[in-house]
Amino acid sequence: MSMQARTKKILAVVGVIALVAAGGLATVVTLLVRDAPETLPVVTAYSNGKTVDVQAGVCDSTMRCADLEVAYLPVQAGTPLQMSLPKDIAEGDWRLNVQFGDPRTGEVFEGFRDYTPGEVYSVTVPTRENEQLLGVIIQQPSSRDFAPVWAVQTLPGLTPAAEQPAQ
């Protein structure tokens, strides 16, 4: 069974259109990927058999933040929090900020520790039976007034910020 000349021309035109469309799609995808914003690395937090990925946001020096999603991982008093950092963070300067509370007195204590490039790739935040870890923030140095920030809310019994109803 042979095709007529008209059918052959139609198939040739359809083939050319398909090739042009595929080439155009490849060009568009290449441009979108090339111009896509650089993604920030993800920190992993672990406690009591649960793991969460902590996405980064950026904050200015007054802690006004953009695109910061605070991760929620309840940590019981006396239980440590472990955090694993990708090399993009660990091989640079970074700071660990912690906030503890005393359930008996209501006092809140804050502390921080600065880390140098390659010093550690994971960190354990210990707690005692009489103190509650409230939250942890990891910060990198700022570039142009903004710094990457990773935040974890750890107080058990709270509703994660992402699940709170809008007011």
Task: For 96, list phi and psi in degrees, rounded to 5.
Answer: -105, 120
Q: What is the mean pLDDT of residues 24-44?
A: 63
DSSP string for 3-45: --HHHHHHHHHHHHHHHHHHHHHHHHHHHHHHHSPPPPP-EEE
* Structure confidence at residue 84 as a pLDDT band (50, 70, 90): very high
Q: What is the mean pLDDT of residues 98-103?
A: 92
* pLDDT of 34 above 70: no
The tokens for 113 are 């520790």
C-beta separation of 156 from 76 below 8 A: yes
Residue 8 CA, distance from chain mean position: 54
> How does DSSP classify residue 92?
S
* pLDDT of 159 above 80: no
What is the domain partition of the chain in residue ranges? 1-36, 43-159
CATH of domain 43-159: 2.60.40
pLDDT for res 57: 92
Element (H, E) at 99: strand 94-101
pLDDT for res 160: 60
DSSP string for 37-87: PPPPP-EEEEETTEEEEE-EEEE-TT--EES---EE----TT--EEEE--H
Q: pTM, whole model, 2 decimals? A: 0.71
> Order of strands, edge to edge, in the sheet holding 50-54?
50-54, 43-47, 81-84, 122-125
